[in-house]
Amino acid sequence: MSDSSFSRRTFLGTAGAVVAGTALAPRSAIAAPAIVLRPPSHPVAVASANGLRGVARAVEMVLKGGDTLDAAVEGVKIQELDPNDDSVGYGGLPNEEGTVQLDASCMHGPTRRAGAVGALEGIKTPSEVARLVLKYTNHIMLVGRDAQRFAMSYGFKLEDLLTPESREKWLQWRANRGSNDDYLDVPATEKMAIRPTGTVNMNVVAPNGDISSVTTTSGLAWKIPGRVGDSPIVGAGQYTDNDIGAAGSTGRGESNIMVCGGFLTVEHMRRGMHPKDAALETLKRVVAMTPPRLLRPDGKPSFGLQFYAVNKKGEYGAASIFRARFAVADQKGARVEDTAVLFA
Protein backbone atom coordinates (compact mmCIF):
# COMPACT_ATOMS: atom_id res chain seq x y z
CA MET A 1 0.00 0.00 0.00
CA SER A 2 1.57 3.28 -0.94
CA ASP A 3 0.78 6.39 0.99
CA SER A 4 1.11 9.29 -1.38
CA SER A 5 -1.38 11.54 0.45
CA PHE A 6 0.90 11.39 3.46
CA SER A 7 3.93 12.21 1.30
CA ARG A 8 2.37 15.22 -0.28
CA ARG A 9 0.84 16.70 2.83
CA THR A 10 3.96 16.35 4.94
CA PHE A 11 6.22 17.54 2.15
CA LEU A 12 4.19 20.70 1.53
CA GLY A 13 3.59 21.25 5.22
CA THR A 14 7.16 21.17 6.38
CA ALA A 15 9.42 22.32 3.58
CA GLY A 16 8.97 25.96 4.45
CA ALA A 17 9.84 25.46 8.08
CA VAL A 18 13.05 23.65 7.23
CA VAL A 19 14.21 26.25 4.75
CA ALA A 20 13.36 29.06 7.12
CA GLY A 21 15.34 27.80 10.08
CA THR A 22 16.42 24.93 12.24
CA ALA A 23 13.03 24.26 13.79
CA LEU A 24 9.49 25.46 14.16
CA ALA A 25 9.38 28.57 16.34
CA PRO A 26 7.73 27.26 19.53
CA ARG A 27 10.03 24.28 19.64
CA SER A 28 13.23 26.24 19.08
CA ALA A 29 12.32 28.32 22.11
CA ILE A 30 12.39 25.14 24.19
CA ALA A 31 14.88 22.81 22.54
CA ALA A 32 17.11 25.26 20.64
CA PRO A 33 19.43 22.88 18.78
CA ALA A 34 22.89 24.40 18.75
CA ILE A 35 23.86 23.09 15.33
CA VAL A 36 22.50 24.28 11.99
CA LEU A 37 23.26 21.68 9.36
CA ARG A 38 22.80 22.40 5.68
CA PRO A 39 21.07 19.52 3.82
CA PRO A 40 22.79 17.66 0.97
CA SER A 41 22.11 18.60 -2.66
CA HIS A 42 21.21 14.95 -3.43
CA PRO A 43 19.21 12.45 -1.33
CA VAL A 44 21.22 10.01 0.77
CA ALA A 45 19.98 6.67 2.08
CA VAL A 46 21.97 4.39 4.38
CA ALA A 47 20.93 0.88 5.39
CA SER A 48 22.02 -2.54 6.52
CA ALA A 49 23.74 -4.45 3.69
CA ASN A 50 20.55 -6.33 2.74
CA GLY A 51 19.02 -2.91 1.97
CA LEU A 52 21.14 -2.39 -1.16
CA ARG A 53 18.19 -2.49 -3.56
CA GLY A 54 16.17 -0.54 -1.02
CA VAL A 55 18.54 2.43 -0.76
CA ALA A 56 18.50 2.74 -4.54
CA ARG A 57 14.69 2.70 -4.52
CA ALA A 58 14.48 5.22 -1.69
CA VAL A 59 16.82 7.72 -3.35
CA GLU A 60 14.94 7.35 -6.62
CA MET A 61 11.65 8.11 -4.83
CA VAL A 62 13.02 11.18 -3.06
CA LEU A 63 14.46 12.46 -6.34
CA LYS A 64 10.90 12.30 -7.74
CA GLY A 65 9.66 14.42 -4.82
CA GLY A 66 8.63 11.58 -2.52
CA ASP A 67 8.56 11.92 1.24
CA THR A 68 11.53 10.43 3.12
CA LEU A 69 9.39 8.08 5.23
CA ASP A 70 7.48 6.78 2.23
CA ALA A 71 10.82 6.30 0.46
CA ALA A 72 12.32 4.39 3.39
CA VAL A 73 9.23 2.18 3.74
CA GLU A 74 9.23 1.38 0.02
CA GLY A 75 12.95 0.59 0.35
CA VAL A 76 12.60 -1.87 3.22
CA LYS A 77 9.48 -3.44 1.69
CA ILE A 78 11.72 -4.96 -0.97
CA GLN A 79 13.24 -7.12 1.77
CA GLU A 80 9.96 -7.70 3.59
CA LEU A 81 8.42 -9.13 0.42
CA ASP A 82 11.52 -11.06 -0.66
CA PRO A 83 11.05 -14.76 0.26
CA ASN A 84 14.82 -15.19 0.12
CA ASP A 85 15.55 -12.71 2.92
CA ASP A 86 14.96 -14.89 5.96
CA SER A 87 15.45 -12.04 8.43
CA VAL A 88 12.47 -9.86 7.51
CA GLY A 89 8.78 -10.09 6.62
CA TYR A 90 7.68 -12.92 4.32
CA GLY A 91 10.14 -15.81 4.66
CA GLY A 92 11.50 -14.48 7.96
CA LEU A 93 12.55 -17.21 10.39
CA PRO A 94 9.88 -18.04 12.98
CA ASN A 95 9.83 -18.28 16.77
CA GLU A 96 10.40 -21.54 18.62
CA GLU A 97 6.84 -22.67 17.88
CA GLY A 98 7.21 -22.09 14.15
CA THR A 99 5.20 -18.85 14.06
CA VAL A 100 6.64 -15.79 12.32
CA GLN A 101 6.33 -12.75 14.59
CA LEU A 102 7.41 -9.45 13.05
CA ASP A 103 8.55 -6.16 14.63
CA ALA A 104 8.91 -2.75 12.96
CA SER A 105 9.13 0.93 13.79
CA CYS A 106 9.53 4.19 11.94
CA MET A 107 10.00 7.89 12.55
CA HIS A 108 9.10 10.82 10.35
CA GLY A 109 11.42 13.71 11.10
CA PRO A 110 9.43 16.67 9.77
CA THR A 111 6.26 15.83 11.71
CA ARG A 112 8.16 14.42 14.71
CA ARG A 113 5.95 11.34 14.72
CA ALA A 114 6.65 7.68 15.31
CA GLY A 115 4.86 4.37 14.82
CA ALA A 116 5.63 0.77 15.70
CA VAL A 117 4.27 -2.75 15.80
CA GLY A 118 5.52 -5.69 17.86
CA ALA A 119 4.98 -9.44 17.54
CA LEU A 120 2.75 -8.96 14.50
CA GLU A 121 1.67 -12.18 12.80
CA GLY A 122 0.37 -12.87 9.31
CA ILE A 123 1.15 -9.51 7.66
CA LYS A 124 4.05 -9.40 5.21
CA THR A 125 4.93 -5.73 5.56
CA PRO A 126 5.02 -4.59 9.21
CA SER A 127 6.80 -1.38 8.16
CA GLU A 128 3.57 -0.28 6.47
CA VAL A 129 1.55 -1.09 9.58
CA ALA A 130 4.00 0.90 11.72
CA ARG A 131 3.53 3.83 9.33
CA LEU A 132 -0.27 3.51 9.72
CA VAL A 133 0.11 3.70 13.51
CA LEU A 134 2.20 6.83 12.99
CA LYS A 135 -0.21 8.39 10.54
CA TYR A 136 -3.64 7.52 11.93
CA THR A 137 -3.33 7.14 15.68
CA ASN A 138 -2.48 9.07 18.78
CA HIS A 139 -0.28 6.15 19.86
CA ILE A 140 3.15 4.89 18.99
CA MET A 141 3.08 1.12 19.39
CA LEU A 142 0.52 -1.63 18.84
CA VAL A 143 1.31 -5.27 19.52
CA GLY A 144 0.24 -8.83 18.86
CA ARG A 145 -3.30 -9.79 17.91
CA ASP A 146 -4.57 -6.24 18.18
CA ALA A 147 -1.85 -4.91 15.89
CA GLN A 148 -2.99 -7.57 13.43
CA ARG A 149 -6.63 -6.51 13.74
CA PHE A 150 -5.57 -2.89 13.28
CA ALA A 151 -3.74 -3.84 10.06
CA MET A 152 -6.74 -5.81 8.79
CA SER A 153 -8.97 -2.77 9.33
CA TYR A 154 -6.83 -1.03 6.68
CA GLY A 155 -7.28 -3.86 4.20
CA PHE A 156 -4.27 -6.06 4.91
CA LYS A 157 -4.90 -9.76 4.29
CA LEU A 158 -3.66 -12.47 6.61
CA GLU A 159 -1.08 -14.66 4.93
CA ASP A 160 1.15 -17.59 5.85
CA LEU A 161 4.58 -15.96 6.24
CA LEU A 162 6.52 -19.22 6.22
CA THR A 163 8.12 -20.21 2.93
CA PRO A 164 9.02 -23.87 2.26
CA GLU A 165 12.66 -22.89 2.96
CA SER A 166 12.04 -21.08 6.25
CA ARG A 167 9.76 -23.89 7.45
CA GLU A 168 12.47 -26.43 6.61
CA LYS A 169 15.07 -24.44 8.60
CA TRP A 170 12.73 -24.32 11.58
CA LEU A 171 12.06 -28.08 11.31
CA GLN A 172 15.83 -28.71 11.25
CA TRP A 173 16.33 -26.47 14.27
CA ARG A 174 13.53 -28.20 16.20
CA ALA A 175 14.86 -31.63 15.40
CA ASN A 176 18.39 -30.73 16.53
CA ARG A 177 17.36 -28.65 19.50
CA GLY A 178 18.22 -31.18 22.21
CA SER A 179 19.40 -34.72 22.57
CA ASN A 180 16.81 -35.64 25.20
CA ASP A 181 13.69 -34.90 23.20
CA ASP A 182 11.73 -37.22 20.93
CA TYR A 183 12.87 -35.60 17.68
CA LEU A 184 15.76 -37.40 15.97
CA ASP A 185 18.70 -35.14 15.09
CA VAL A 186 19.02 -34.40 11.36
CA PRO A 187 21.98 -33.03 9.36
CA ALA A 188 21.79 -29.22 9.49
CA THR A 189 22.89 -26.84 6.77
CA GLU A 190 26.08 -24.89 7.46
CA LYS A 191 24.16 -21.67 8.07
CA MET A 192 22.07 -23.30 10.76
CA ALA A 193 25.13 -24.00 12.91
CA ILE A 194 25.08 -20.33 13.94
CA ARG A 195 21.78 -18.85 15.08
CA PRO A 196 20.73 -16.73 12.09
CA THR A 197 20.10 -13.02 12.69
CA GLY A 198 19.10 -10.16 10.46
CA THR A 199 16.92 -7.12 10.03
CA VAL A 200 16.75 -4.20 7.65
CA ASN A 201 17.21 -0.64 8.89
CA MET A 202 17.11 2.37 6.56
CA ASN A 203 17.69 6.09 7.16
CA VAL A 204 16.98 8.69 4.47
CA VAL A 205 17.77 12.41 4.17
CA ALA A 206 16.35 14.60 1.39
CA PRO A 207 17.68 17.81 -0.17
CA ASN A 208 14.89 19.75 1.59
CA GLY A 209 16.41 18.61 4.89
CA ASP A 210 13.73 16.11 5.83
CA ILE A 211 14.87 12.89 7.47
CA SER A 212 13.13 9.58 8.27
CA SER A 213 14.05 6.11 9.47
CA VAL A 214 12.55 2.62 9.44
CA THR A 215 13.57 -0.72 10.92
CA THR A 216 11.77 -4.00 10.25
CA THR A 217 12.58 -7.58 11.21
CA SER A 218 11.42 -11.09 11.98
CA GLY A 219 13.69 -10.80 15.00
CA LEU A 220 15.84 -13.40 16.57
CA ALA A 221 15.25 -16.80 14.97
CA TRP A 222 13.63 -19.38 17.28
CA LYS A 223 12.85 -16.72 19.89
CA ILE A 224 10.52 -17.33 22.82
CA PRO A 225 7.00 -16.49 21.53
CA GLY A 226 6.15 -12.89 22.33
CA ARG A 227 9.78 -11.79 22.53
CA VAL A 228 10.09 -8.32 21.08
CA GLY A 229 13.52 -7.03 20.12
CA ASP A 230 14.96 -3.59 19.55
CA SER A 231 13.54 -3.00 16.06
CA PRO A 232 10.10 -1.75 17.17
CA ILE A 233 11.50 0.25 20.08
CA VAL A 234 11.67 3.89 19.07
CA GLY A 235 15.04 5.15 20.25
CA ALA A 236 16.63 1.71 20.01
CA GLY A 237 15.90 0.10 16.62
CA GLN A 238 15.78 3.48 14.93
CA TYR A 239 15.50 7.17 15.73
CA THR A 240 15.23 10.42 13.78
CA ASP A 241 15.66 14.04 14.81
CA ASN A 242 14.91 16.23 11.82
CA ASP A 243 17.41 18.85 13.01
CA ILE A 244 20.26 16.37 13.36
CA GLY A 245 19.97 13.01 11.56
CA ALA A 246 18.81 9.43 11.90
CA ALA A 247 20.26 6.14 13.08
CA GLY A 248 19.21 2.53 13.36
CA SER A 249 20.49 -0.90 14.16
CA THR A 250 20.69 -4.59 13.33
CA GLY A 251 22.07 -7.39 15.47
CA ARG A 252 21.44 -8.48 19.07
CA GLY A 253 18.42 -6.43 20.00
CA GLU A 254 18.59 -6.83 23.77
CA SER A 255 22.07 -5.27 23.78
CA ASN A 256 20.82 -2.32 21.78
CA ILE A 257 17.77 -1.77 23.97
CA MET A 258 20.08 -1.47 27.00
CA VAL A 259 21.73 1.63 25.52
CA CYS A 260 18.81 3.11 23.50
CA GLY A 261 21.28 2.94 20.62
CA GLY A 262 19.33 4.71 17.87
CA PHE A 263 18.71 7.70 20.12
CA LEU A 264 22.21 7.66 21.58
CA THR A 265 23.79 7.68 18.12
CA VAL A 266 21.70 10.70 17.11
CA GLU A 267 22.69 12.42 20.36
CA HIS A 268 26.37 11.80 19.57
CA MET A 269 25.78 13.41 16.16
CA ARG A 270 24.07 16.34 17.88
CA ARG A 271 27.31 16.94 19.73
CA GLY A 272 29.07 17.19 16.39
CA MET A 273 30.31 13.65 15.83
CA HIS A 274 30.49 12.27 12.31
CA PRO A 275 27.85 9.50 11.83
CA LYS A 276 30.54 6.81 11.70
CA ASP A 277 32.15 8.01 14.95
CA ALA A 278 28.74 8.39 16.58
CA ALA A 279 27.92 4.77 15.73
CA LEU A 280 31.28 3.59 17.10
CA GLU A 281 30.77 5.57 20.28
CA THR A 282 27.41 3.88 20.82
CA LEU A 283 29.02 0.46 20.39
CA LYS A 284 31.54 1.33 23.11
CA ARG A 285 28.61 1.94 25.44
CA VAL A 286 27.12 -1.41 24.39
CA VAL A 287 30.32 -3.21 25.35
CA ALA A 288 30.46 -1.35 28.66
CA MET A 289 26.90 -2.51 29.40
CA THR A 290 27.50 -6.14 28.41
CA PRO A 291 27.20 -8.65 31.29
CA PRO A 292 29.98 -11.25 31.68
CA ARG A 293 27.79 -14.11 30.40
CA LEU A 294 27.77 -12.40 26.99
CA LEU A 295 31.53 -11.89 26.82
CA ARG A 296 33.93 -14.36 25.22
CA PRO A 297 37.07 -15.45 27.06
CA ASP A 298 39.00 -12.69 25.23
CA GLY A 299 36.61 -10.10 26.70
CA LYS A 300 34.89 -9.29 23.41
CA PRO A 301 31.10 -9.61 23.05
CA SER A 302 29.79 -12.98 21.90
CA PHE A 303 27.22 -11.29 19.65
CA GLY A 304 27.09 -8.95 16.68
CA LEU A 305 25.57 -5.47 16.59
CA GLN A 306 25.67 -2.75 13.95
CA PHE A 307 24.58 0.89 13.80
CA TYR A 308 23.89 2.87 10.61
CA ALA A 309 23.61 6.65 10.62
CA VAL A 310 23.16 9.69 8.43
CA ASN A 311 23.21 13.34 9.43
CA LYS A 312 21.26 16.26 8.04
CA LYS A 313 24.20 17.22 5.82
CA GLY A 314 24.06 13.80 4.17
CA GLU A 315 27.24 12.53 5.80
CA TYR A 316 26.80 8.84 6.55
CA GLY A 317 28.53 5.99 8.30
CA ALA A 318 28.11 2.65 10.01
CA ALA A 319 29.91 0.73 12.70
CA SER A 320 29.88 -2.85 13.88
CA ILE A 321 31.34 -4.79 16.81
CA PHE A 322 32.99 -7.11 14.28
CA ARG A 323 33.49 -6.81 10.52
CA ALA A 324 30.30 -6.06 8.56
CA ARG A 325 29.02 -4.29 5.47
CA PHE A 326 26.33 -1.69 4.91
CA ALA A 327 24.46 -0.19 1.96
CA VAL A 328 24.42 3.43 0.91
CA ALA A 329 23.00 5.38 -2.05
CA ASP A 330 23.77 8.99 -2.94
CA GLN A 331 24.83 10.94 -6.05
CA LYS A 332 27.46 8.23 -6.71
CA GLY A 333 24.80 5.51 -6.89
CA ALA A 334 24.02 2.53 -4.67
CA ARG A 335 26.80 0.40 -3.25
CA VAL A 336 27.94 -1.68 -0.30
CA GLU A 337 30.79 -0.46 1.90
CA ASP A 338 32.65 -1.80 4.94
CA THR A 339 31.49 -0.59 8.34
CA ALA A 340 33.94 0.80 10.87
CA VAL A 341 34.71 -1.87 13.45
CA LEU A 342 35.17 -1.85 17.19
CA PHE A 343 37.23 -5.05 17.13
CA ALA A 344 39.25 -6.04 14.05
- Residues with a known catalytic role: 199
Residue type, 333: G
By beta-carbon proximity to ligand ASP, the closer residue of 222 and 316 is: 222
Closest contact distance (angstroms) between CB of 296 and ligand ASP is 18
Q: Does 121 bind ligand ASP (CB under 6 A)?
A: no
**Which one of 27-35, 160-168, 185-193, 244-252 is the stretch in contact with ligand ASP (CB under 6 A)?**
244-252
By beta-carbon proximity to ligand ASP, the closer residue of 37 and 200 is: 200
Name every residue whose Cβ is closer than 8 Å to that of residue 175 and which is 6 or more positions away in sequence.
Answer: 183, 184, 185, 186
The residue from 250, 265, 311, 320 that contacts ligand ASP (CB under 6 A) is 250
**Interacting positions 53-92 with ligand ASP (CB under 6 A):** none
Q: Does 235 bind ligand ASP (CB under 6 A)?
A: no
**Interacting positions 172-231 with ligand ASP (CB under 6 A):** 197-199, 217, 219-220, 229-231
Closest contact distance (angstroms) between CB of 157 and ligand ASP is 25
Closest contact distance (angstroms) between CB of 305 and ligand ASP is 8
Q: How many residues bind ligand ASP (CB under 6 A)?
A: 13
By beta-carbon proximity to ligand ASP, the closer residue of 94 and 219 is: 219
By beta-carbon proximity to ligand ASP, the closer residue of 75 and 253 is: 253
Closest contact distance (angstroms) between CB of 240 and ligand ASP is 18
Closest contact distance (angstroms) between CB of 322 and ligand ASP is 13
277, 235 contact by CB (below 8 A):
no
The residue from 118, 253, 262, 314 that contacts ligand ASP (CB under 6 A) is 253
By beta-carbon proximity to ligand ASP, the closer residue of 197 and 311 is: 197
Q: Does 127 bind ligand ASP (CB under 6 A)?
A: no
Binding residues for ligand ASP (CB under 6 A): 197-199, 217, 219-220, 229-231, 250-253
